[in-house]
Structure 1
Amino acid sequence: MKSINKKIVYLFICCYGSIATAQSISVDDTYSAQQLVENVLVNNSTCAAISNPIATGDNSTPGKRSYAYFNNQGGTFPFTEGVLLSTWSSTNSKAPYVANVPAGDNNAWLGDSDLDTVLGKSTLNATVLEFDFTPLTNFLSFDYIFASNEYQSFFPCTYSDAFAFLIKESGSTGPYQNLAVIPNTITPVSSTNVHPLIPAVIPAPAFGINGCPAINDAFFGAFNTSSSPVNYAGQTVVLTAETTVIPNKTYHIKLVIADNGSTTFNSAVFIKAGSFTSKIDLGSNRLFPNNPICYGENFIIDTKLSAAYSYKWYKNGSSIPISGEISPSLKVTDTGTYKVEVELGSPNCIATGEIKIEFTPQIVLKNTSLIQCDENGDGIAIFDLNKAEAIIKNNNSNLSQMFFFENSIDAQKNQNPIPSPNSYTNKSKNQIIIAKVLDTYGCPKYAELTLSISNKTITPLAPIIVCDDDGSSDGIHQFDLMGIATSGYFSGIGNNIFVSFYLNSTDAYLEKNELSFFFKNTIPYQQTLFARVLNGSDCYAITPITLVVNTFNPPNFENENIPLCEGSALNLSVSNNFSSYLWNTLATTNSILVSTPGNYSVKVTNTNGCTATKKFNVSASGIATITDAIVTDFAANENSVLVEYSGVGNYEFSLDGSFFQDSPLFTGLAAGEYLVYANDKNGCGRSIPFKIYVLDYPRYFTPNGDGYNDFWEIKNLGLLPKSTVTIFDRYGKLLKQFNSTSSGWNGTLNGYSLPADDYWFNIIFEENKTIKGHFSLKR
């Protein structure tokens, strides 16, 4: 930790926890560098060639060293024995663990410049164990645990001591490689890089850093208590530092740990005894789902060691070596766990390696062929290679998109794929195309696709002739192409025949713009389509299909409405130029005689077999009978007559027998006698005349003795013999009363002529109907 935070750290120190007896590790700091390397790390193995071991560390604490040998004494610590490197006296690593007890600073104990360079830190109190090492194999590793008293409070969020396991070729001036990293990363292992969730502390630090989320917590081991076997707040799980090396090349190993800036809280690294020795790296395991080996491939497990060594290969934990396999490499073809034991020049030096191998499931493809029709007989055609994909794949949906190549070399090298497989022009007859797919693991599989040409021919189908019977006579008809496709013409070819239709031969050849089975011709009267006939998925032949639409629209075939006079017969007929006739009366001639009203029709057929129908609506007609007339009179210009009649004809009406009108209502009639007639417009005859009278009174008279208009009278009143007329002056004085037989009033009263004036009258009819009015007497 940085010294500027030293006093802040002490703010978080509380009372010592209770100390319980624990099965502590033992620590012996009397071991020399050579003993630690040769007797502990390498465990006296003859497989390791060790030289120049050096250990440095605390040189200011009398009788104490910061590096040592440790033993778990049968306790719970994960390693039985090993090497301990620490940032304080190594004997302080023994249990019990006491929390929040800082160590004193010792700034005279310096850091390590190589560690500073690799980690980018400024260190103090460095402990180093270094040596030269010549491996006999291609791989080395050792197991270790990082422990620290900085796994307290909020410290892992901010502070971490530094350590590294450094390696480079001996004598090299190049940089070191750090092996003490989080697996599969280049991140150094430290308390800031490996810890669980750190909760906030109370009270919060004065400088604001308080708590942090977990980071790489899968590699954190545990927080310690007073019963833990070491005197550190927490430690990682067992980790492995490893790297590949070149056999028989000398490397310099430097194991170093140091405080980072402050010596307040200390850390240590525990290295497992005997874990540093020559090992064999057989490569990464080849397992699902990341990198299994493709089915059918031969995988070589290679030790990359000299053939002069002795080799034994084992499979799946068997104690019996694989018979005959004594080489540095092993070819495997099936799933298993494979192990090698190598005697490196001496029975006392045995190196081992192990790898797990899994093979993908077998991809089963089918070789198949495509048969295309040849448009011009040259043996060259355009193929849609994708049509074969489902067959080649055996309908296996777990395979990738299919790619096609013109030869197997290109397919295996994945070069020059056919760019447009849906429109590929073959280069020769029966050309073989290579189809390639990948499974979900990227494993390839290949199949052959043969491109063949169909030489089949089909006898041309007779034209499909229909009649334009939709009423429009435009030469357009909706055809049922499905009916054509399933007709005996095509079904007779074979049992696996499929037919599709196109507007032109090019589309049929390329299988583009296929027509719907319900097709209206786009060219009136006659149009040629092209049927592509498939035998399964292969083209059998392309043949033209001619569609003919015959129109039949004879003249004068509009529906007719014809009247039939009562008591007569009517001849219905059409032209005699048709091939056949059928009336709804079942008659088969071009005309029939009918005597009853009704709906009649005739269906005619021409020489093309097309039909047309003419309809006759025969309606009854006859002479009318006038039954009455409703007369509205005594209304001057508004006098009217409404003729009442009976009959089934279509009538017109007249009051004089000369001028006729369609309406039975006559208006604006003058007083007088009329004869009413009803005439049948259909020519069936005229009714018996019906006499009517229209009555009215004169609006004035001039009794001056000139013999003209000398009397006020009502014409035709004699038709109403029981009528009575009474005349009054303006004051209501009765002047004259007479009946229907009287000649009228001459304008006198008691022999005296009355003056010119307006006079009033009442007419009382037999049924007590009364008409009142007035008129003028003029002198």
Structure 2
Amino acid sequence: MRGNTVKICLFGCLVLLVTTLSAQGSRCSEIQPFCAGNGEFVFPNSNQLVSDVVAGESGPDYGCVEFPRYPSWFYLQIENSGDLEFLISQSENEDGSGEALDVDFVVWGPFNASDDYCSDDALSEENHVDCSYSDEAVEIANINNAKEGEIYIFLITNYSELPGYINLQQTNNDANAGSTDCNVLNGVLGSDRVVCGENETTLNAEAQEALSYQWLVFDENQGDFVIISGETNAELRVTATGNYQVKIETADGESEDSVEVSFYDKPKIKEPAESIFVCEQEGVADLTEKEYELISSNIDENDQNIYEVEYYESQDAVELRNRIEDPTSYNVEGDKIVFARIVNLVSGCASDVVEIQLDFRAFPQAIFQENYQVCVDRDGLFAQELVLGEDLGKSYQYAWYNGDKLVSEEYDLYLFEESANPNYTLVLTEEFTGCEISYSTTIEYLSGPSSMKIDVLRGDFENTWNVEVLAETTTGHSSTYEYCLDDGDFTSATIFNNISRGLHKIAIRESGGCGEILTEEFTVIGYDAFFTPNGDGFNDQWRITQNADYKVLRIRIFDRNGVFVKELDPEGTGWDGTVNGELLPEDDYWFNLEYVNFNSSSRHNFSSHFSLMK
């Protein structure tokens, strides 16, 4: 359908060599010519700021280019037969500086000037010449054995989507190299035109030194262009789709150019009837859940694939073509409005912009503490009932779990006894939206001391002792305890130093006040830790010291193997280390004594050991 368009082409749209282009064809129907010459061909790329066409149109076989992002379409015509090698590069700045940007390409051919080279049959796998889909910013394209007059189609894509410039230059210039024909750059009507949502457009063929203009339109029935009666001005008002041609007569002769004009309706877009609900727990919206509703005014199910919905964060983003990259997973932190429009992938026409309301479903802040400390008695019952949760209204469903076990579906949970699993979770579900959130707490069980263990430790040589006391409690409880000796101050220390012999009292309490205070009396019996029966008058006797609080009734001595050695008189002077007049060897010896506690009139046993040293 392009007729002789290739021969005359698009005058004024491209500039040869190092000059920068002002635009480029984003679809094959808007294809533009270039020639390499002996220099560089530099033009701004297609990108998200200047082009509505994000991806290559459906139909062509793009070969190795899996995702033809932001395409630019060009063709060249061979002037001299031979091999051609082109260097294609893309960078942030026109002079090649700045960030290097990923560029890819496909080449199809060869075609004749009369061929419809934008058809799917032309842009097919059989007509692939060269292709690259690497992640490099510099590519090499080759056309081998090109013949004079042949036409080749170039698709150059901007995978990075960022604004920048593409540089194309022929790098082989030897005697056998082919060359491109720069005569294809001459034209007056510009690129093929797509008109969206309008009833008319104006073609302008004004040229310097023109003597007359004649306008024609291609007649499908006749298979040729026919004259449009009465149209002899430089401009032509067009109201119907068709292939239009102008013939311009000048003093130097006649030239012609043609252009395809296509009229399309703008896609209709339906504003969503309801918001998209965004659950706080997830914080992510799938904007595409309203996609079919948006495009439903345009299509039946068979046509759905010719439309694409674009999503934007703001009206400014729409103007800048700054699309939301992943509309299926859009982060949301509160109520928000996003914007959408529909693009017809066949025509490239876009709909009006509509708003999509994002309704952020926030939940109440934590409605109970992350941790609770609860006092329990010896039977595991709470000293005071614990109530978790509160009534948040009928719009919610409640599910309480103890570990993995569902224990209640009421808004509050009453706890009165210890559980093997101290972890509780409330799953709160909003009935209208299905959004849910979970709150968790851990209960620490505390209990007062159940018993205590008292160890009397020998202190120094001045008849003082140390006492260590440990509280015993229920396994699994996280209680901490405080200790008091003889009605003194409570302390976290478990060892009391410099205790005199006699009757004493230890009190233990849970540091948070859980349970009762436990008290127990104990007696410190005085004895020598060692003695030296060497006759020097110092520590020659080992003895038990009496006290007004207790009365020693019996003392027996044993060796380290438990063999009885000697019984002592509690009222005597002590033991000199002999048995039957013979001094026993140096060693550790054990003793056991019986005594009466005068305070309670109770009878007790006490055992410990001492050393005989010579």
Mark yes or no: TM-score above 0.5.
Answer: no
Greater radius of gyration (CA): 1
More strand by percentage:
2
Range of TM-score over shorter length: 0.3 to 0.5
Bigger relative contact order (CA 8 A; separation at least 6): 2
> TM-score by structure 2 length?
0.44
What TM-score do the two structures reach when normalised by structure 1? 0.36
